[in-house]
Amino acid sequence: MKRTSRDSEDSARRITRRALFMGGCMAATMAGLGARMRYLGVEEADQFRLLAEENRINIQLIPPARGLILDRNGKIIAGNEQNYRVVITREGAGDVQLVLNRLSHLIPMTETDMTRVLKDVDRNSSFVPIPVADRLSWDDFSKVALNAPALPGVTPDVGLSRVYPRDTDFAHVVGYVGPVSENDLEGLENPDPLLHIPKFQIGKIGVEKWMEDTLRGSAGNKKIEVNHVGRVMRELDKTDGVSGANLRLTIDADIQNFVQARLGDQSAACVVIDVTNGDLIAIASAPSFNPNLFVRGITRRDYDVLTGNDFRPLANKAVQGGYPPGSTFKMVTGLAALSDGKISLDTVVNCPGYLQFGDRKFNCWKKGGHGKVDVRSALTQSCDVFFYDVAQRVGIDKIAEMGRKMGLGQRHDLPMSAISEGTLPDRAWKQEKLKQDWRIGDTINAAIGQGYVVATPLQLAVMAARVATGRSVVPRLIREIDGKAVPVEEAADLGFETSHLTAVHDGMIGVVNSDRGTSFAARIANDAMLMAGKSGTSQVRNISAAERETGVVGNNDLPWKQRDHALFVCFAPADAPRYAVAVVVEHGGGGSSVAAPIARDAMLRALTGSVPDPKDYPANQRGRIDTMLKELKLRSPDGSQPTDTRA
């Protein structure tokens, strides 16, 4: 078909438009390519020139500064110190073994050190810095820095390491940090990238562990440029991490130090609590250990010394040690009977020195008996028979219910390791645990804190605080987080009748202030600080009837592990309680003679705010007390090493 001239003109116009469109697209593309080439060839010329020389860019995590742990007055308990160290990356080093051999001529390195580094290098990505040595001297650190060109992949670095300036004083409370282990990573779905940094330190026990997320902070990072031999050329970019939050504890470092020193080398524990708000002022467990040993890598020899000690220095006896509370439990039995109406304030029980139940005789500690006693005098003189009698009237379930109300048989929620809930038995407990029915004899034993009853020093301190106030005082350890106060809830009223609580207070005041009291020698000779207390001596072995007839073997004549535990709880001032104290001395003997003097000293230290003055002690004790106080090795206010207290 012949095309008309009109058709030819239309076709030509269409071809012209397409050509113009295609030409425009090509021109735009060429312009874009030209601009990109100019950017790469001119503006980025320096960077690509370096890359052409086989330079590489590494991104490294920057560990944040760990949050500080302070006492209630702002004194550092756990801090950070500068740490000169050396790290190596496989990517930069190439032949790691060769580089380590060169490095060993500059800084102290053993075959064990080299083997450990090689294993860490193999286990981690090629760009991850592996610690080779830390805590280097400035001279060794300088040697590495000066020889950097001959040490590809090796970087001298200044980091932070944990340090505990008050070492043994807070070991059981604050704990310590250590390198992340496989066990630490188990169960974590999305672990923090910081945890994959070799030898990165995290909390292992105590506050360090239980407040880990708060103390750790978040990582920063830096982008560095290294050449083909691994030498750092320049730092391209850096983003600082966020430091961990600082924690302020309720504990007073000076009181803690005094209590720790007062416990000395005994296997013992002491807890001081502010009854007005639950603040734990001191939590001491003896003997203690130096947590700095664990941070720096404890030697097998040092660890064996700790684990081989019969006094168990690694155990925090204040919160995990379980002990029969002995006669310190008698306030619970008495309040249970009074509250349930099974006895009145005028109820009198005759104590001939024993209680006969069936064919079994339950003895009082006083062989000749106490005669007629009521609840006040029974507490003052610690008459066992009175509480044997009233316990049968009220029953174990009511006694256990009262014990729980007083803070026993429960795990108090504190950021510390291995806190025990103790044992507060009742009928259901024995059936569940032992598959046995409860017996009257079990109730009689429990009435004086023996048998199945087990409590920790922390629980006994809480019990004393609740007896002192009639309120459900709850212990707390964290006072502030990053400068923000942790709120304190007002303790609820426990609902005791005033007369019942007053009677118990009167009995406890008599314990240390009446010449018939079991702890009269441990009184405070200052009416403004009158102390109320209760001693306890809990048996750890059975005493046979034959031994009672011939005479019970004295504690000093028994092997250490067969001696009685010594306990004492107290609060003061008696008319307006401020602090409560609990002391347990393992296998220490008598509570009145061993535990009560320690509790009195701790109480005076808390009440007066300074080392006790011998004038606050009975006149016939002042010379001995003055000598004892002078011999205590206490830290100076700035936390430096112990010095003679009153020399």
Residue tagged 């009977």 (tokens) = 337
Question: How far apart, in Å, do the first and last CA atoms of the chain sit?
Answer: 129
Q: How far apart are CA 299 and CA 288, in angstroms?
A: 17
3-class SS of residue 169: helix
Q: Using CA atoms, how far apart are residues 435 and 429, in angstroms rounded to an integer?
A: 9
Catalytic-labelled residue, pool 161, 243, 267, 327: 327
- CA-to-CA distance for 407 and 420, rounded, in angstroms? 12
Strand residue runs (E) in 496-597: 532-538, 565-572, 579-585
Instruction: Give residue 576's identity as a one-letter amino acid code.
Output: A
Residue 528, sorted as left (phi over 0), alpha (psi -120 to 50) or beta, turns out to be: alpha
SS (H, E, C) 445-496: HHHCCCCCCEECHHHHHHHHHHHHHCECCCCECEEEECCEECCCCCCCECCC
606, 559 Cβ separation under 8 angstroms: no
Question: Looking at this protein, which amino acid is placed at residue 566?
Answer: A
Q: Is 243 a catalytic residue?
A: no
Tokens of 213: 């997320």
Using a 10 angstrom Cβ sphere, with 0-12 exposed, 13-18 middle and 19 or more buried, the burial of residue 487 is exposed
Q: Are 532 and 570 a contacting pair, CB within 8 Å?
A: yes
Phi and psi, residue 401, nearest 5°: -60, -40
State how far the Cα of 202 lies from the Cα of 137, in Å rounded to an integer: 24
- Distance from C-alpha of 540 to C-alpha of 639, rounded to nearest angstrom: 39
Give the C-alpha separation, 170 to 599, whole Å: 19
Give the whole-angstrom CA distance, residue 155 versus residue 144.
8
Distance CA 270, CA 570 (A): 12
| Calpha distance 513→574 (Å, rounded) | 11
Cβ contact 328:569 at 8 Å: yes
Residues that are catalytic: 327
